[in-house]
Amino acid sequence: MLDGKRAVITGGGRGIGKAIAGALARKGAALLLISRTESELAAARAELVKAVAKVEMAALDVAGSAAPDEIKKAIERVFPDGIDILVTAAGIYGPIGPAVELDAKLWKQAIDVNLFGTFAAIQAAVPAMKKRGGGKIITFSGGGDGAYPRFSAYVASKGGVVRLTETLASELAEFRIDINAIAPGPVNTRFLEELLAAGPERAGKETYEKSLAQKEEGGVPPEKVAELVLFLASSASDGISGKLISAVRDNYAGFPDHRDEIMNSDVYNVRRIKPKDRGFDWQ
């Protein structure tokens, strides 16, 4: 399915990013894993080399101001002839609690990791995709489609990723580069543990109780998210771009049959709702 393809995954050392790396490897893609933590990358690489011959890694901070250049150099070192796939799975929740009570530096850090880190990886990867005559970019934007009280830094950053993804779909179309955002759903990762550690006082009683139930029931398997990534990384999704797609709620397997309808409408996009859209006759 992906034999001969070259993939870069930020946040590839653990959690969803690691699961996605494994799925891509099993389909034949060569990998470059990027993360801040070298020990996690090394452990992930040790597992993945059993599935694919080429697994390289680069320990760097996607939130740093030098990240675009550092990621570009890592790509050129590992894949001098270019890449086909970029998955931007690096992300953090940021501070949890009422927005006016949060540490401003930690709030900004979430923007830097989630939004700027996504931009940095894309800016570095696009020239390498042009070498291959096109490519696929998959961003992550769970929480980017609505309000999420007490998680203001997270939703602000992910909302930015949604708009960035749709904007770049237009800019990159001429280069045959498709870009889509994924809403992964409630996966049991370190995010869940961070939320539970915050407690009901900071996370909110309802959110905390839902998260406790998620931990007990198992949540969305990371493999389900990886399945959507495989679809978006494959030729089956050619021409579908600029959309926010749910790994849980959307029947994306049927997208190829409705490609023109999807791309000539604002389905799977975030939009402003006007009064007439809800049947009101006032403005």
pLDDT tens string 39-97: 999 999 998 888 776 899 999 999 999 999 999 999 999 999 999 999 999 999 999 99
The token pair that represents 207 in the structure block = 């959110």
Q: Which residue has the higher pLDDT, 156 or 219?
A: 156
What mean pLDDT is reported for the chain? 93
53 within 8 A of 28, measured Cβ to Cβ: no
Mean pLDDT of 209-216: 84
3-state secondary structure of 198: helix
227 within 8 A of 248, measured Cβ to Cβ: no
Long-range CB pairs of 250-253 (<8 Å, 24+ gap) are 252/228
**DSSP letter (8 states) at residue 220:** B
Q: Where does the chain show beta strands of DSSP type E?
A: 6-10, 30-35, 55-59, 85-88, 135-140, 177-183, 244-246
93 has catalytic annotation? no
Q: What is the pLDDT of residues 77-87, one digit of tens each?
A: 999 999 999 99
Quick one: pLDDT band at residue 191, thresholds 50, 70, 90?
A: confident
Q: How far apart are CA 204 and CA 215, in angstroms?
A: 16
The domain locations on the chain are: 6-185+222-249, 187-219
Can you give the pLDDT at residue 258? 98
Q: What is the pLDDT of residues 196-212, one digit of tens each?
A: 888 888 888 988 888 88
pTM of the model: 0.95
CA distances from 98 to 3, 49, 155, 233 (A): 47, 44, 13, 38
3-state secondary structure 160-194: HHHHHHHHHHHHHHHHCEEEEEEECCCECCHHHHH
Q: How far apart are CA 132 and CA 245, in angstroms?
A: 25
CATH, domain range 6-185+222-249 = 3.40.50.720
Can you give the pLDDT at residue 218? 79
Q: How far apart are CA 22 and CA 47, in angstroms?
A: 9
The catalytic position among 93, 148, 154, 252 is 154
